[in-house]
Each structure stands twice: as structure tokens, then as C-alpha cells.
A and B are shown apart, each in its own frame.
Chain A
Amino acid sequence: MKPPSFAYEAPEALDDALALLDRHGDDAKVLAGGQSLVPLLNFRLARPARLIDINGVPGLASISERDGTISIGAMTRQRTIETSPLVASRAPLLAAATRWIGHPPIRTRGTIGGSLAHNDPSGEYPAVLLALDAQVRIRSQRGERVLGIDAFLGEWLSTALGPDELVIAVEIPIGSKHATYGFAEVAKRHGDFALAGVAARFTLDGSHIGDARIVAFGGVARATRLTAAEDAIRGRVPNETLFGEANRAATAAIDPISDLHATGEYRRHLTGVLVVRALRQAFGEA
């Protein structure tokens, strides 16, 4: 469990980091919190010739609000997000979900940019950011682009990032004041990757459900919107019968994998249960 040898760079300016990525992108890896990358190196599952450590690059770790958007720098630690008053008031779903990531020591190192770029299908952040309709700000020497989260996320650990590109920030629209959310997951132990999880954000339209974004994760190729469940509840009055409909629509729509931790059948069932739990969190035991 020792990595093969690699070159190590620690740029101290964003431009330097981008220049290094431009030159070495194909056989380089960005090192952020290292909580996913270092185990991969030690198991020799990733064998980059060069690591570009961006921990010393200034300006990538702030949380700010502007024009109805919360912007979170890529190098912001999960622990900072968990304890940020701004996140708690403007994006409470993100704050709530962060507590489910690993354990405090991991969250103290792990970053939101790393979580997104790694895109573990059982990770909380891709799912939550999809539920929140976030944008991902990406930069390379070629320039800057902003991608919707849905377009950013690929299947099974892949993303739309090019080898020379760096995630700079995640931008979350604050949206309607009349919003509510639900987050629920089942893991084998506290802090483990989810067997199944649901992150959901809703708006309220009087006593009716307005917009609904319900995302399943865990055992599926990527964080997945449960559109049939969303359609089933949009514009309707929340109650247990409706939640039951959402459960059925959700379970009919997904087909999770079986692995050593759970069967696909169980994960599917859990997803339905968790959709109901997320709805109850959002609307109370209706």
C-alpha cells in the first residue's frame, strides 16, 4: 500500500496551477483534501506521474453571497461548509447533508471541489448540488466556463472536466423564500458511503407543492433525479397518500446495483422509503 513514485508540485498561484495542468494535465492529478485520491494512490489504482497540490493556491476557499447566489470556493473544506452560518441560512440542505459525509477528521480535510470532481455515486455532494440546481465554475488556461451540475456529472466517477481544467467554485441559487428540503440516507455505519440516499428540495405554492427536485444516490451510476416522483407530486397537496405515490414512482424508476454491501432490490426499496422520509421532513407528517 505504497504509491508508485510521482513528481510533486505545489503552485502558489492559480495561474501557475493552471499552467502546470496545461502542461501535464494528461498524466497529472490535482491534490485537494486527498481523502479520495490518497487511498487510490496507495492502492496503486491511480498512478499519476505528477501531483499538483492546490492547497497553497489562494482564493479558492471562501463562501460568499452575491446576486441571489451562494458561491463556495472549490477548496472549501466540508467542515467549513457544515459550520458556516451563511450555508445554514441560505442552503440548509447542503449543511444538513454535510454531516453525513464521513467523520470530522475527513470533513476537516475533504473539499467540495474534490467531492464533485471525484463524483462518487454514493457521495452526498453531487446529489445535494443536483437537488439545489447548482452551477460549477471551471477554469483552465483556455478560459473559464460554467456548467450546470447535471451536465457536469458523469457516470461512475466520471465528470465533464477536461484534464487541464480545475473546478474553481460551486454556485448555488438561493431561490425562493418558500422553499423546503429533505435529506435522508441509510448507511451501514455512521459516516459510511450511503447504501441509498435521497436529497430533495421543494418550493411551496400556497398549500401546494411547487417545484420539486428529488435526487437519489447510492448504488446508481450517478446522482439521479427521480423525475417520475417529482411529476407525481408537483402541484399537489402534500399528504401521506401522495408520499406513497412518490415512493412507488421512485422505486419504479431506478435500478440500483447489487454489491457486497446491499442488493439492488433492497436499495430500490430503501430509495422509496427515503423519498417518503425526505417528504415528511419537508412537509411534516402530513
Chain B
Amino acid sequence: MSANEGWIGRRVQRREDLPLIQGKGRFAADLTMPDMVHMAVLRSPHAHARLLGVDTSKARELPGVFDVLTSADLDGIGEFPVLWQLPGQKASGIPVLARDKVRYVGEPVAAVVAVSRYVAEDALELIEADYDPLPTVVDVESALKAGAPVINEAWGDNVAIRHIVPGIDATGKAGDIDGAFAAADAVVKARFKINRFSGVPLETRGLVASHDPLTHGLTLWSSSQVAHKQRTQLASVLGVPESSIRVMTPNLGGGFGVKWDCYPEDALVCLFSQRLQRPVKWIEDRREHLMGTVHAREQVQELEAAVARDGTILGIRGKIWADLGAHIHSVGIGPAWVTGVSLTGQYRIKNYYCEVIGVATNKVPSSTFRGFGGPEATFATERLIEKAARAVGLDPAEVRRKNFIQPDEFPWFSAGGGVFDSGNYPAALEKALEEVDYDHLREEQAGLRAKGVYRGIGIGCYIHTSGFGPSFILGLVGYNTSGYEGSSIKVDPQGGITIYTGMIPLGQGTETTLAQVAADQFGVDFNDVRVVWGDTSQTPYTGFGSAGSRSNVAAAAILKAAEVVRDKSIRIGAHLLEAAPEDVVYENGGVQVKGSPEKRLTLGDVAKAAYLAHNLPKGELPTLEGTYVYDPAMFTIAFGCHVAVVDVDLETGEVKIVRYVVVDDSGTIINPLLVEGQIQGGVAMGLGGALLEEFVYDENGQLLTTSFMDYLLPSIHEVPHMELHQQVTVSPHTPGGFKGMGEAGMFSPGAALANAVSDALLPFGVEVDRMPITSNLVWSLLPKS
């Protein structure tokens, strides 16, 4: 192996960092253009009202205002479609501007373009929108009541879908859920509430649209996670050919899924730019982000588990109500569906039944966010396991051991219909318990209690379905998108390597990891590989778009594209070396005749010949490049285990995290440094949702958390030191054995903390079944003496 090999697995520093920390990054907000004008959006102050009319005449007269749009100006403009149309889900779409009715506080009603954002906001105050307020529904319980106000009249009620997930085995045969409950020694029941929270990236959304009269084309600089999908959707909404739109993404300051979606503003800046023939900029402010960008997670779950005396979980059944907000957003009830098929977790639970009910409320639409339904399932499953253990008098760790799918049982067909590729769940748990010194903690616990220290130990095991997903499966579930990633590799005439990826780096270090993968394939220095991203006119179409856990798919595409290029180098090299291609190998950054290292050409030599094309093998085309589109063969299932150790202050209800141990297994690791960063960030985000974050509405549907004073993200003070441990179980399905890892950290914090706090307060019978676990909540659960 040469010094240039083995980039995969190295702790390479992120190549993105230097310019970013020097302030040389270029974000949407940094972009400026001649004649550029600025957009501001009028948002509904009502949660539910008829929109009787919008008078923009005064706003138009304000000096500095160029243009105003309301829904009346949008004839011929479509709605943003729902991409994931699970069979049975009612029809819906997202209007660019509200027409006839507003359905949540923050819904765009009109938009203004002016010489500056200041003037544009002044103009918003001059728009007179006439509302006739309607009664509101702000939670699933009231939305389902008979006679509840109906948000989308065409539906007849507020139910978007009732979807049943029957437990099945590998042959599709249903389990015996009633039998499981009849045979149970104990049944544990719970009602869980998962809070409404979401991705709140440091950088809000940002757009600059520029209509080019020369090409009749539109260029959109966008903070989108998924430029190609945005282009496809914009073309359909605007009714223009997709080829006339170019989407470019500058640096992104985080995305977390919420920048995967398309939004009304995306279309508005384009429309204004077409109308005005000027560049139009819109930078979302924080208030708009909190009330205009998708929320996520909110669910009510009523579940029960059938437990045998020895701790075996015989079955799980129940219902999940997903609070979808006012519109079915792009992924429909997708996240809740993922929850609904995932509640058996990493356990051999064969009898299963779950009903998923999507419910509309007068709130911001709910959609994609790091974890995508998985953390909601993890919370429920891991709380049920804990309750099951208490019910039959066993240690929670023991009950997990008893029920784990074993390493030799893969591929495993889960009762929810998933195929698990590989795993070693017991090893992850044992490693976490050993690192935290579980037995010692348990011994210590009683003594501490006697001293008034209420210490709790909470386990949260998780599986994370990544590499979403084989396109044919997306088709089967009505998901109108695809799962592949494309990658092109071009070797220039000097032998320099450039990768073109449809992935968009959101801050995970994608450029670094993809360059590492390619460097190994060509036996060159990592620094000699350039990565081009973020421009639909240059990069290959990507079906799904970028998510934190997609680098496995993109990496596989690079492996395959590199193979194409290497094969071509071998053919051309063999020709030049006057050898048979079978006798030539690619090694150490060049081609050579097997067994004769002196008969060798560097990649540069081959590239030069490939471009000159003076002497190529018969039938070989000039230049040296290759493209591969990798559609995942199967999902990859990453997994791991978190253990939280907490102290609970009985007087105030405050929870202090004493230790936090993570064991993660995401298959082959490309860069351990970046994996640690992703896990730390994921855990921090998970802890935020578990302890602090929540979008709160009052009974009239007013959003109360519209600034960082009220929507509380964890800060450096709240995020504990994490003890991170890595395990590797490769995926048999991906070339390279990669699994996705960017979301994994997010899955278990809620479960681990709820279990830990419940464990600490076991003497009082306290069960923490909802998030966020605030001090007020904990105190309210304690008996008042």
C-alpha cells in the first residue's frame, strides 16, 4: 500500500473549515448583485380565517416599492405538490400565497419587493388584508372531535389518512397480535406525547433569483439541501421547462431536513424576478423561520406491549396520531409512517399492529427533520421496554438482551415490513454498559438515594434506517421521488481528478469525505481531488437529494464511477504499453503491467493520451471521465446505544446530566473525526428536543415561540460531555460497507433521558412519558407532600 492509500478511515481535518472560519464562506445572505431588490412576506396573523380580500394599493404607493403579489396575481401558478402520497392519503398541496383562506399563523398572504428589506417591511404594514376569523383546532384531540372546525373543507373532516400497519413475517403472513396479548403475563400501556420541534439551523433559508433576459432562463441561488429536486418542483409550480432553471447552492449553515422541502418563497422570488427583470433576494429572518419553515415530530401515541414473565415481548400494538399542521407537506405523513413501521425497534417482536392517523391542525405544516419519524419510534419502544422490565421485575438491560435480534439472524424481516441488513445489537448494549459501569451504578444508586441524591440510569438503544432508499421501494409506498445518487468523475488532461456530486454539503464535511473516498480509488493524495457541488447545470441529478445520512449512497456512487474511469485508464494504458488489458492493473496512481513495475504510466500520462486522442485503442472514445448512478440495493440499518446518567433535584425538578455514553455503529467509517462531530451534533440536537425545545401554541393557534427567547435551543452549558465509542458492522448491501450516520445521534437522547429520569424517580412511581422533560414537568409528576 502506498502512502496515498488508506484515506478511508483517516481522521482527516475538514477541508471546508479554513475559509469558513476565516469568514470567507459565501452564504445566500452574502450574495449581492447589481440592481438587486429585496422581498418581504406578509404572513397571516390568524390561525384560521376566511381571507375576504387583500388591498395592496397603499403598499404599492410607498416610495421604493417595486411590486406586490397576492394570490389574485397567481393565475397559472401551481401549488407545491405532496411528493409522498401514501395510498389513501387525501389530496392536498401548498399554495404559493393563501387564497380564500388562511390556515396557520405565518402562512404567506402577500409579498412585496422594494429597494431594501426595510422598505419592504414598511410596505407590509400598509397592506390591508381582510380576515373573517374561524374557530381553530390546535391539537389532534380537538381536531378529531365531532363538529370540530374543518381546516381543509374538501376533506370533510381533519383526518388526512388512517393507515394500518399489520405485523407480518418475511413471507407477508400476519402475526397473531391478539394471541400475543391473550398469552401475556403482563400488559404495559402508555400514552406518549412527542413534542413539536424542528431543525433550527444557524443559517435560516435564503434565496436570490435572477432572471436572465439573454437566455430566458432563471438562476436561483438557494440554501436548499436538494437543488435538483427544488428545480423539478419549481418548474412544475411555475409552469416553465425544467431546463430553463438553474439552481445553485452557496455555502449552507446547516439544513437538518427543513431545507429539503420547497417553500412558497422559492416560487415568489422567481416570479418577482421574472416580472421585474431584476435579481430578487429574500433572507428568512428568525421569526419567519420559527413560523414559516416546517415543524416536525409532534405525535400522540397510545401503545401497549404484551410481556411474558421471562421478559420476552410478545407483541406491540397501538395507535399514533400525527399532528400534521395545516397542510399536508411534501412528505405527507411519511415521518409518522416511519414511526408506525418501526416500533419493534431492534427486537425480535413478531406480533405487531399499528394504526397511523394523520390529523390536520391550525399549525405550521410538519415535515422532514433529522431522524424522520425514527426518534419518535425510539422514544416509544425504549419506554415500553423499560415499563415491561418493571412490570415483570427484571432489569431493563436484561429485557433488552432477552429480545434483541441476534447477529446471526440477518437479514432480518421486521414486523413493520423492513429488511435489516446487518447488526450486532447485543454488542452495542454491552459495550455501553461496560463503559458506563452499569453494575456499579446500580449498586451505588440505593446508597445515593439514602443521601438524598436521586440518580437515574437510562438506556436508549436505537436503529436508524439510512440510505433511503431503493427507488422501487419508494415507488411501492407512493413516494414520488427516487433514492439514487449520481456521481461523475473527470480526470483532466494533466491527470487532476474532479468529482461532481449531486450531494449538497450542509456542514457535515461532505467535500472532505467524498474526496477521501475518491483518493483511495485512484491512489492519489486527498488534496489532489476536487469536489464540485451545488449547481444543477454541472452536477448529476440526484433523486432524493441530500440528507445527513446520504454520504453512504454518494460514496457508493463514487466507488462505482471510479471503477468506470479506472477501467478506461487500463484499456488506454494497456494500448500504450502494448500489453493486453488483462495483464494491466491500476495501482499507486497509475497503470502498470502485472509483474513489470517498470512498464508503467501515471494517471496523468494516460489522461494526456486520452485527451490528445492521437493513439487510442480501436473504438475507445477520447477524454477520461465516468459517471455512475447508484440506486441503493437495500436500506442500511445503523444502530447503537446511549446511556444517560442523571441526577434529579426533587425540590425543583431540574435534571442534571452526570454522564452520557454513546456507542454508535454505522458500518465502515470514512472519517472518524467527522463521525464524532455528527454524533455530538445529533446528540445535542436530541437533547434539545428532549429537554427544552417546543413550538408552543395557545388555544387560539397563536404561536408563542417566535424568537430564541422562547424557542430554547441547547447551548454549550446544557450539552454535556459525551463519551463516544465506535463499533463497526459493515453493510453487506453497499459497496464499501457504508451505512448512513448523520442522523443517528438524534435517535436516543429522548428515550435515554426519559428512562433515566423515570429510573431516578422510581421510588415515587414517576413515569416520564412526554417531551420536553422540563423541570416544571418533572416537578408536576412528583407527589406533593
Contacts and interface: CB of A to CB of B under 8 A. Distances in A.
Contacts of B654: 186
A263 B715 contact: no
Contact of A273 (B651, B712, B718): B651
A186 B652 contact: yes
B776 A263 contact: yes
Contacts of A16: none
Nearest to B285: A1
Contacts of A44: 121, 125
A46 to B, nearest CB: 15
A259 B453 CA distance: 30
A269 B717 CA distance: 25
B776 A191 contact: no
Interface in B263-304: 285-288
B196 to A, nearest CB: 13
A260 B704 contact: yes
B185 interface: no
A2 B118 contact: yes
A266 B780 contact: yes
B115 interface: no
A270 B779 CA distance: 10
B720 interface: no
B652 A273 contact: yes
Contact of A186 (B692, B704, B718, B775): B775
Nearest to A103: B715
A1 B775 contact: no
B52 to A, nearest CB: 25
Contacts of A188: 692, 712, 774-775
A189 interface: yes
What is the predominant secondary structure among interface residues of chain A facing chain B? loop
B776 A189 contact: no
B718 A190 contact: yes
Nearest to B652: A186
B633 interface: no
B236 interface: no
B176 to A, nearest CB: 45
Contacts of B718: 189-190
Contacts of A193: 709
Given A189-B717, A190-B718, A273-B652, A266 B286 contact: no
Nearest to B718: A189
A286 interface: no
B732 interface: no
A19 to B, nearest CB: 29
Interface residues of A, number: 24
A144 interface: no
Contacts of B714: 189
Interface in A67-119: none
Most chain B CB within a 10 A radius of its CB, from A4, A39, A189, A192: A189
B197 to A, nearest CB: 14
What is the predominant secondary structure among interface residues of chain B facing chain A? loop
Nearest to B697: A260
A207 interface: no
Nearest to B714: A189
Contacts of B121: 1-2, 4, 44
A241 interface: no
Nearest to A5: B118
A273 B651 CA distance: 7
Given A2-B121, A5-B118, A273-B651, A189 B712 contact: yes
Contacts of A192: 709, 712
A270 B776 CA distance: 10
Interface string B111-129: 0000001100110010000
A262 B780 CA distance: 11
Interface string A40-52: 0001100000000
A266 B710 CA distance: 18
A42 B707 CA distance: 11
B696 A1 contact: no
B406 interface: no
B744 to A, nearest CB: 25
Interface in B718-742: 718
Contact of A1 (B286, B715, B717, B780): B286
Contacts of B696: 260
B710 A190 contact: no
A189 B716 CA distance: 10
Interface in B737-785: 774-776, 779-780
A261 interface: yes
A115 to B, nearest CB: 16
Interface residues of B, number: 30
Contacts of B602: none
Nearest to B780: A266
Contacts of A3: 118
A34 to B, nearest CB: 15
A39 B707 CA distance: 10
Given A1-B287, A260-B705, A266-B779, A190 B652 contact: no
Nearest to B775: A186
B466 to A, nearest CB: 31
B712 A43 contact: no
Contact of B710 (A5, A43, A260): A260
B587 to A, nearest CB: 55
Interface string B72-90: 0000000000000000000
Contacts of A189: 692, 712, 714-715, 717-718
A195 B286 CA distance: 24
B520 to A, nearest CB: 43
Nearest to B717: A190
A266 B715 CA distance: 24
A261 B710 contact: yes
Contacts of B653: 266
A43 B287 contact: yes
Nearest to A263: B776
A148 to B, nearest CB: 31
Interface string A263-286: 100100110010000000000000
A1 B780 CA distance: 37
Contacts of B118: 2-5
Interface in B583-622: none
Contacts of A263: 776, 780
A112 B121 CA distance: 33
A3 to B, nearest CB: 8
A5 B125 CA distance: 13
Nearest to B694: A260
Contacts of A4: 118, 121-122, 125
Most chain B CB within a 10 A radius of its CB, from A1, A3, A4: A1
Contacts of B287: 1, 43
Nearest to A193: B709
A42 to B, nearest CB: 8
Contacts of A191: 715, 717
A2 B705 contact: no
Interface string A124-146: 00000000000000000000000
Contacts of A2: 117-118, 121
B124 to A, nearest CB: 10
Contacts of A261: 710, 776
A273 B775 CA distance: 14
Most chain A CB within a 10 A radius of its CB, from B652, B704, B710: B652
Contacts of B780: 263, 266
Given A273-B651, A273-B652, A266 B776 contact: yes
B648 to A, nearest CB: 14
A4 B118 CA distance: 7
20 contacts: A1-B285, A2-B117, A2-B118, A4-B118, A4-B125, A5-B122, A39-B707, A186-B652, A188-B692, A188-B774, A189-B715, A190-B717, A191-B717, A192-B709, A195-B775, A260-B704, A260-B705, A260-B710, A261-B710, A266-B775
Given A44-B125, A266-B775, A273-B652, 5 more contacts: A44-B121, A186-B652, A186-B654, A189-B712, A266-B780
> Shortest 4 CB-CB distances between A and B: which pairs?
A190-B717, A1-B285, A260-B696, A2-B118
